[in-house]
Structure 1
Amino acid sequence: MSAARVPRALVVGEALMDVTRMPDGSVAEHPGGSPLNVAVTMARQGIDTTLAAHVGDDHFGALIRAHLAESGVTLANANVSLPTASATATIGADGSATYEFDLRWNPNELPDLEDFHLVHVGSIGAWMAPGADVVLDLVRRAHAAGRAVGFDPNVRPALAPSVPLLRERVLELAALSRFVKLSDEDADVLAEDPGGPLSVLRLLAGHGPALAALTRGGESALLCSGSDEVEVRVPPVEVADTIGAGDTWMGTLLAELLRRGWADRTSFAADELQSLGHAAVAAAAITVSRPGADPPWRDD
């Protein structure tokens, strides 16, 4: 790909309707799904972004299409014949969210990699059968072609295969990815020893990524590249809910890498990790201050 070419990003995975049940009993509907949120974050920050996802010809699908169009995301339907997925998020008094899902993942066609500078995969689309094997093949081809790959496992134990199989898939995808981010909740599921989330971060970082990051809710985030490891504090913010916070974090990281021309890098110095982390943390703080997954625009 020519260095002068404007970078474009492909995000692959689920798009769904988030049905949010608040502590006071009220219900709201917002387009969501981790890959959709990552794509929206990147597009709102000025990156030419395509999302390959199932979006059906139904009411939820119409709402999702309108949301993507308003945010500047191009939709490449991976299988329009399936109904649009949904997820119900129940919000606790502390703003935390628990989820129930109704979705399927069986992509029948994905865009040509030649058109994109960076590919991002993750969440349910990266490990739910049968589509997970299609995603793995895409990532293998992207890696072989020298494309930058972003990966966020965003594990959901209630939907995932057995933990050993999930761990094996996550490690394989991490080894093929240049940028990996996971949450402390992901790390708790994936951990094999009492070393805690940090041991999982270092395990994934040691499998090949140029940059690996661990988010820890309202606590500081950790970013590492090779032997460099930094901690980035989270600014204080009044939390509406946490939906989409991690996706905003990841989407902002990828957007910054593309904007700065760093997506082809294989290592980062500590000050560069700090700068990337501050941008991601600031964007996520804006998202948690708003109800639903509503990532910030660049001028926010």
Structure 2
Amino acid sequence: MSSFMVIGESLLDEVQRGNVRTTHPGGAPLNVAAGLARLERDVTLVTRIGGDDDGETIINFLADSGVRLYPGSIDSHPTSIAHAQLDVHGNASYTFDLRSDFPQPPAGGPALKPRLVHIGSVGAHLEPGASTLRSWLRYLGQFSTISYDPNVRLGVMGPAAKLRNEIDELMPAIDVVKASVDDMRALGGPTEPGESARYFLERGAQLVVITMGAEGLVLATPEAEVHVPSVNMPVVDTVGAGDALMAALIDGLSRMSVLGGEDGEALRDISRQGLASLGSYAATAAGITVARPGSHSPTREELSLSMELYSGGV
């Protein structure tokens, strides 16, 4: 039985940095799944990968990372591609050639009962995959904590008004939300971090994390709110930083024993000190990732060492 499940797109990132073009597996859900595996978590990815050379690259990456690929995730269509253009500061802008379609949950009662199911990005908002994803939520929602990262890309996901309506429909099933101030700006929602957090709390979330890049992050429950500074690292590029943060956030919550079934109800009761510790852990993962090119989230050993350095323990 997998402790964690991630549902969403896998693709090949083509990254243009000046005159240099590189390719590597990507997609926010794939990055989160790989990040959890690098943190030594047992994780299954429900996705769609083409049966072509690009798909083979992704399949090999997942196998090397220790991510279990859910049966039926490979089909005959071309593998999805994301074209990323990096500016002089290492910030990425994207265009996509993408197909969203995932295997359906099996008939009958769930054989898999993961402690947490992570969703978001294009896979949660582009059909036909979005409808299949909702079938998974109905299938597993009573057993699993559900986390969500909108990772807004209006060019492929649709207009802001459409996304806001879909978020309203999703939120009764969502326990944990991670969103950036850029996501909120694109959605036309409140961009002040505390107000952004309340936007999701009012819709039923028990824990909300709003990321602000170099300005850090805000973590909020219905009972408490804290601000955590970012980790001061030299920025090579920002590719995958939010996904590394998301993976560390999930890992941290698991270590706090607040995921899955009845334990999930404890999310709202995390103390201010607990939120601050969780935020520092997640921010450190993002800091490690921005300090090196591409989406390479930290291992548990790297993250533990950096936490000691960050807190002054070494």
Same fold (TM over 0.5): yes
Deviations 1:207-237 (A, max 9, x none): 2222101001111100001130000000111
The CA RMSD measured in Å over matched residues stands at: 1.7
By percentage of residues, which structure has more helix? 2
For residue 181 of structure 1, the aligned residue among 178, 182, 190 is: 178
State the 1:254 CA deviation: 0.6
Identity of matched residues, %: 36
Counterpart of 2:282 (choices 273, 276, 280) is 280
Q: Is the 8 A contact 2:113 2:144 kept in 1?
A: no
1:73 is displaced (CA, Å) by: 0.4
**Given the alignment, which residue of 186, 210, 217 partners 2:213?**
217
Tell me the CA shift for residue 82 of structure 1: 2.2
Partner Cα separation in structure 1 for residue 155 and residue 195 of structure 2: 23
How far is 1:175 from its partner? 2.8
Q: Is the 8 A contact 1:214 1:222 kept in 2?
A: yes
Structure 2, unpaired ranges of 5+: 303-314
Alignment pair present for 1:93 and 2:93:
no
Provide the aligned length of Structure 1 versus Structure 2. 292
Q: In the alignment, what sits opposite 1:266?
A: 267
What is the 5 A alignment of 1:33-182?
33-76=27-70, 77-110=72-105, 112=110, 114-143=112-141, 145-182=142-179
- The answer to whether the 8 A contact 2:157-2:163 is kept is yes
What displacement does 1:171 show? 2.5
Question: What are structure 1's unaligned runs of at least 5 residues?
Answer: 1-5
Q: Name the CA shift for 1:130/1:205 in 2 (closer, same or farther; >3 Å).
A: same
Separation in structure 1 between the aligned mates of residue 295 and residue 134 of structure 2, nearest angstrom? 27
Deviation by residue 1:146-177 (Cα, 9 ceiling, x = unmatched): 41001001110111222222101113323311
Give the CA deviation at 1:178.
1.2
Q: Give the Cα–Cα distance (whole angstroms) in 2 for the partners of residues 22 and 33 of structure 1.
A: 18
Structure 2 vs 1, CA of residues 133 and 7 (structure 1 numbering), >3 Å: closer, same or farther?
A: closer
Q: 1:296 aligns with which of 284, 290, 298?
A: 298
Which residue identity is paired with 1:42?
A: L
Structure 1 residue runs of 4 or more that deviate by more than 4 Å after TM superposition: none
Mapped partners of 1:113, 1:169: distance in 2: 28
Letter in 1 for 2:182: E
TM-score (norm 2): 0.88
The one of 182, 203, 209 aligned to 1:207:
203
Match of 1:3 in 2: none
Report the CA distance between 1:142 and its aligned residue: 2.6
Task: List per-residue Cα deviations over 1:21-53 (Å, max 9, x = no partner).
Answer: 002x10111111000000011111011001111
Deviation at 1:7, TM superposition (A): 6.3
Q: Does 1:249 align with 2:249?
A: no
